């Protein structure tokens, strides 16, 4: 049984960090801080003390500890955000600000957004990269919001790895769309950095922009093979023009199979028909469930939502049909048996 206190684990983490020959080797350091963060209240108290230290390494550890604690414990997030916002106003060390940007995302607090916006102009590229990586947890959901405008600026950063992360966050993780966002992503498809170009193409594909099709085909035709996220983008795009390139791959991997299925017009039509029959049968069988089928805006899967079923997260239509051996009527019966009536059916009176 582990009996190490938060203070002991943090002391060991700092010792490991100071002894590290390669500053990029953070394995023991990170693992020890993560363990310390398991004690939410204790980690909060220790982290608050550390970020007040005169030693930048201790302030950095304090930010990391607070971020890990906020990641593991919702109860400490508000106080963590308050402390990190205050620290951001006085901190000058790049390494501390880098950790602060990572940590404040874990609070999922709206106050993180102006902090990240301010840090996006930091002269240290590592800080700017971390800002680009940290926006997903605190995005406002507005295509014209200050967070999105900051990400757009970072997609034009002079440093390639900053552009890469900003383009990935804007294109794939920020589920918002606008003509300006598409224009910026299209701009980045001509980037000199290959990773940035790839993320821009995926971002356009997530928005079903037809300009992405020939660019996706080129990525799929890479002699070294395509990345799993490229297959995901092809799956979201779901057009038959991608099938020849996809069929060059072995069908054993799920992501290849999923992309092929999504781009197969016959299979798509069959799935749409089954989804319609499923929801129609459910309305006949269980009108009390208020069933409806929807499709993710930036995804491929179709979900069966049940507006009147309290506590139900709904169903993935394909998975549900698989349970029913492809029979939509049987799928409706499975849903009805999964969710028994909680009140008498007026038709039974």
Q: How many residues can be counted in the chain?
A: 349
Q: For residues 283 and 305, what is the distance between their CA atoms, to the nearest angstrom? A: 12
pLDDT of residue 246: 94
**pTM, rounded to two decimals:** 0.86
Q: What are phi and psi of 290, to 5 degrees?
A: 55, 55
pLDDT tens digits, 9-24? 999 999 988 887 555 5
Q: For residues 338 and 142, what is the distance between their CA atoms, to the nearest angstrom? A: 37
How many other C-beta atoms are found inside a 10 Å radius of the C-beta of residue 142?
A: 12
User: Helix (H, G, I), strand (E, B), or coil: what is residue 304?
Assistant: strand
User: Helix (H, G, I), strand (E, B), or coil: what is residue 3?
Assistant: coil
- The whole-chain average pLDDT of the chain stands at 92
| DSSP per residue, 212-276 | HHHHHHHHHT-TT---HHHHHHHHHH--GGGHHHHTTS-TTSHHHHHHHHHH-HHHHHHHHHHHH
Q: For residues 330 and 334, what is the distance between their CA atoms, to the nearest angstrom? A: 6
Q: For residues 311 and 314, what is the distance between their CA atoms, to the nearest angstrom? A: 9
Nearest C-alpha neighbor of 141 from the set 117, 162, 164, 110: 110
pLDDT tens digits, 247-306? 999 877 788 998 999 999 999 999 999 999 999 999 999 999 999 999 888 888 899 998
pLDDT tens digits, 175-231? 999 999 999 999 999 999 999 999 999 999 999 999 999 999 999 998 888 888 899
pLDDT of residue 85: 98
Contact yes or no for 282/320 (Cβ under 8 A) = no
């Amino acid at each position: 049984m582990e009996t190490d206190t938060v203070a002991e684990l943090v002391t060991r983490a700092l010792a490991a960090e100071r002894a590290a020959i390669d500053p990029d080797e953070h394995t023991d350091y990170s693992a020890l801080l993560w363990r310390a963060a398991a004690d939410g209240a204790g980690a909060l108290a220790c982290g608050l003390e550390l970020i007040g230290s005169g030693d930048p390494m201790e302030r950095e550890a304090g930010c990391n500890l607070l971020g890990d604690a906020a990641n593991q414990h919702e109860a400490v997030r508000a106080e963590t955000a308050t402390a990190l916002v205050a620290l951001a106003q006085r901190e000058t060390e790049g390494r501390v600000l880098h950790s602060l940007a990572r940590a404040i995302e874990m609070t999922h607090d709206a106050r993180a957004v102006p902090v990240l916006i301010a840090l996006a102009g930091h002269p240290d590229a590592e800080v700017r990269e971390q800002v680009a990586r940290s926006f997903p947890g605190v995005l406002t959901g507005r295509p014209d919001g200050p967070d999105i405008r900051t990400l757009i600026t970072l997609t034009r950063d002079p440093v390639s790895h900053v552009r890469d992360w900003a383009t990935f966050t804007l294109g794939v993780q920020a589920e918002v769309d606008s003509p300006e966002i598409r224009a910026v992503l299209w701009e980045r498809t001509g980037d000199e950095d290959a990773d940035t170009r790839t993320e821009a193409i995926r971002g356009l594909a997530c928005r079903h922009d037809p300009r992405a099709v020939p660019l996706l085909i080129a990525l799929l035709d890479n002699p070294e093979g395509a990345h799993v996220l490229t297959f995901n983008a092809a799956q979201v795009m779901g057009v038959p023009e991608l099938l020849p390139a996809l069929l060059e791959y072995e069908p054993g991997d799920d992501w290849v199979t999923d992309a092929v299925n999504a781009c197969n017009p016959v299979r798509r039509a069959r799935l749409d028909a089954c989804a319609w029959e499923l929801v129609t049968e459910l309305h006949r069988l269980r009108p009390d469930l208020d069933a409806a089928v929807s499709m993710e805006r930036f995804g491929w899967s179709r979900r069966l939502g049940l507006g009147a079923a309290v506590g139900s997260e709904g169903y993935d239509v394909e998975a549900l049909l698989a349970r029913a051996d492809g029979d939509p009527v049987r799928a409706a019966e499975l849903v009805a048996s999964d969710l028994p009536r909680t009140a008498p059916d007026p038709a039974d009176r």
